[in-house]
């Protein structure tokens, strides 16, 4: 099943965005990783589809409406809602067990000078866990590179 991307926001997030101006207690972490492919369709497949995400981000990914169920090993799983995306540009998810206003986003960037692509990752972490979050994304990007991206 393929998700149609637009500027859709779920009603609960719209309500949060318009009424709750609190700032998440977590720190925003932004990382950038160069890619070896020049193929936007390949990159998009890897970051926006359940099979693509299962090839590098989790052991298994199931799509249920706008929610993605991520499974690592036999005992660890988390569910994230797709809160926004723009085809061939970015996907933004909100972990259902995290505080409102937090998300993780995977954005495709193009260097106009070199025509190379990169992924910009935006995530949130408790201040004491920022290094762990960076290490998790480094490991995930190593897996993505092994997939040929």
The CATH number of residue 92's host domain is: 3.30.530.20
What pLDDT is attached to residue 20? 46
* 125 strand-pairing partners: 27
Task: Tell me the per-residue pLDDT of 53-106, one tens digit each, with 9 for 90 and over.
Answer: 999 999 999 999 889 999 999 999 999 999 999 999 999 999 999 988 899 999
- Percentage of the chain with pLDDT > 90? 72
pTM score, whole prediction: 0.83
Domain extent for 125? 11-16+29-146
CA distance 32 to 50: 22
Query: Is 5 a domain residue?
Result: no
C-beta separation of 31 from 107 below 8 A: no
Place of tokens 């994230």: 80
Number of structural domains found in the chain? 1
C-beta separation of 97 from 76 below 8 A: no
What pLDDT is attached to residue 5? 60
Q: Is 19 a residue whose pLDDT tops 50? A: no
């Amino acid at each position: 099943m393929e998700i149609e991307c637009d500027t859709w926001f779920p009603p609960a997030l719209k309500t949060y965005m318009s009424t709750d101006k609190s700032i998440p207690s977590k720190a925003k972490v932004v990382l950038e990783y160069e890619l070896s492919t020049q193929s936007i369709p390949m990159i998009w497949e890897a970051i926006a589809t359940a099979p693509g995400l299962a090839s590098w981000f989790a052991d298994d990914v199931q799509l249920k409406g706008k929610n993605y169920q991520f499974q690592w090993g036999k005992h660890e799983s988390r569910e994230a809602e797709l809160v926004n995306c723009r085809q061939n540009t970015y996907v933004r998810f909100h972990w259902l067990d995290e505080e409102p206003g937090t998300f993780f986003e995977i954005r495709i960037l193009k260097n106009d000078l070199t025509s190379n692509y990169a992924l910009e990752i935006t995530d949130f972490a408790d201040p004491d866990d920022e290094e762990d979050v960076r290490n998790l994304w480094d490991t995930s990007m190593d897996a993505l590179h092994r997939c040929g991206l």
